[in-house]
Structure 1
Amino acid sequence: MSGALEKSLAILEYLVDHPDGVSLGQIATELNQLRSGCHRTLQELVRFGYVRQTPRGDYALTTRLPAMGLNFIGKSGVVDIAQPVIDRLARSTEELVRLAIVDGERLTLIAKAQGARSGLLYDPDMGIDLRLSCSAAGHAWLMTLPEDLAIGHVSRQGLGTPRNFGPNAPTSVRALLKMLDEHRKRGFSIIQDVYAPGMSSMAAPIQRQGEAATGVLVIAGPSLRLSTAKMNRFGPALLAAANELAATGAASPLLKSANLGTWGNVGDKPPPPARKTVRAAR
């Protein structure tokens, strides 16, 4: 990747988290870029319509990137295929249901349905990349991978800490692998107070037999309402919905097994099914 392109992408990704705008000095400092070079890159991004300058001189994203993303998701057909399934599962569980897509080493939330009509609601931001070690979706995907590949993904992203996530977030690879073993036995993941305090969630991979998982279906809600017993009761419905999406997903490029659920990161072949290995001490 060229230096100019890398700097431009770093700025765009940084501005995603600052919708109100950020000063030139803060951008250059946070991204470890020279102020003069950062200013030139920002001016180019302004010229091409990806960044705007606010009245007080800060820099913020325009709607061009979000519009491109929404257009891409819409034309992929994934929401048209998945939304009826998500809606049905949300109505039957009366909880939030989410669809996450596998993209290389990331899981990105792209669709949702809210089943709860009253009381506490749980609804994280759409479009976020999930922390693999701390999310039910991350666990559901990792449990389908060979152990060394799962460890590699988590190591590169980093373990989430209980201080930043929930008090039950795994603090070591060994602890995470133990949780994944438990998830595999039941066929779907269940976590409580792992992604956030007071939150429960469960997830099942969208995966055709013998192929790589292309997405994950998630049910989430407040722990006061979504207990472990209730999540176990929801298990068959969750698995049935995930299997339905696996069967119909070939109609969307984002859920095609041939593409490994990715765009721009197509591998030669999907990873082999998860297998248990002899573990060295970690």
Structure 2
Amino acid sequence: MRVVNSLVERCFAVIELLAKEASAMRLGELAEKLDLQKSAAHRMLNLLCEMGWVEQEPVTGFYKLTLRLAILGQRFLSATHLTDICQPVLEELAAESAELVRMAVVQGETLTWIAQVQGARNGLKYQPEMVARVRLDTTANGRAYLSRLSQTDAIRIAINDSAYSGGERSIASVEEFMKGLELTQKRGWAISDEEAEPGVVAIAAPITLGGGQTVGTVSVAGPRSRLTPDRHEKVASSVLSTAAKLGELWPLRQRYNNIEQSA
């Protein structure tokens, strides 16, 4: 349960909660989850409705986000040119692996999905919901990112993220979790074998810049019936190669923006 104080913080807490749930919520439920009085939550919602961020369903009276946040996010992402630059590399990996390829970027101490390419053409296709935030402790992408951090930071961030995500799964053993991250760090790639989703295997690698900064992750994911253990090493090799290419392309985003600003 989060405790929020300032008006701005409360407004953003409402937006984040509605974005996380991705569905309409009643006033009482929203107030309870944010530990707010109903009157205070009602004021926040009225303000956000007036500003066009939230709307109230006329029949149920429930509240939900408008598309304004999604539209602004798409505009910002388009302006960075990041997906334009990286898309061909992701498509190449998708064609090679014939599975779903996804890329996430580091935002503060979290990962956010920003791009995906479906490589499977026939048979069973893994097509998850494109939620924004990446679960860190159970996903291959999350583990690839955490493996680049110090042990103290990795554990702290993983536990906090698990609590934020609802705590469906928590780190049962810190020692075992750290052993997994050490193995990931040693080989350069992470794997999630049905730990994030039943029947799904994902292999991911961190995207790093020349100075060692981790800026994102890239992964291949698909049904366990196809991503069998005998394919793991080969897929991991392709993911590592793609991560290296993306790391080389990443600075072009800044150069591209600088050119546009000076034009």
> Shift of residue 238 of structure 1?
1.3
Report the 3-state secondary structure (helix = DSSP H, G, I; strand = E; otherwise coil) of the residue aligned with 2:214: coil
- Distance across 1 between alignment mates of 2:206 and 2:21: 32
1:50 to 50, 53, 57: 53
Does 2:17 correspond to 1:14? yes
- Distance across 2 between alignment mates of 1:27 and 1:186: 44
1:143 to 124, 127, 147: 147
Does 2:33 correspond to 1:30? yes
**Correspondence for 1:114:** 118
Moved more, 178-187 or 96-105: 178-187
Shift in alpha-carbon separation, 1:127–1:19, aligned structure 2, 3 A: closer
**Correspondence for 1:270:** none
1:100 to 89, 92, 104: 104
Shift in alpha-carbon separation, 1:43–1:159, aligned structure 2, 3 A: closer
> Shift of residue 185 of structure 1?
2.6
> Shift of residue 137 of structure 1?
0.5
**Correspondence for 1:84:** 88
- Distance across 2 between alignment mates of 1:138 and 1:18: 21
Instruction: Tell me the matched-pair count.
Output: 250
> Shift of residue 2 of structure 1?
5.6
Shift in alpha-carbon separation, 1:115–1:212, aligned structure 2, 3 A: same
- Distance across 2 between alignment mates of 1:159 and 1:6: 19
On the 8 A contact 1:28/1:38 being kept in 2, the answer is yes
> Shift of residue 11 of structure 1?
1.0
Runs of 5+ unmatched residues, structure 1: 257-282
- Distance across 2 between alignment mates of 1:146 and 1:225: 34
**Correspondence for 2:184:** 183
Aligned counterparts, 1:1-282, within 5 A: 3-56=6-59, 57-158=61-162, 164=168, 171-252=172-253
Report the 3-state secondary structure (helix = DSSP H, G, I; strand = E; otherwise coil) of the residue aligned with 2:64: strand
Runs of 5+ unmatched residues, structure 2: 258-263
- Distance across 2 between alignment mates of 1:199 and 1:81: 28
Moved more, 102-111 or 113-122: 113-122
| TM-score (normalizing by structure 1) | 0.82
**Correspondence for 2:261:** none
On the 8 A contact 1:133/1:160 being kept in 2, the answer is no
- Distance across 2 between alignment mates of 1:159 and 1:206: 26
User: Identity, % of aligned pairs?
Assistant: 34
| TM-score (normalizing by structure 2) | 0.88
Report the 3-state secondary structure (helix = DSSP H, G, I; strand = E; otherwise coil) of the residue aligned with 1:144: coil
* Superposition CA RMSD, Å: 2.2
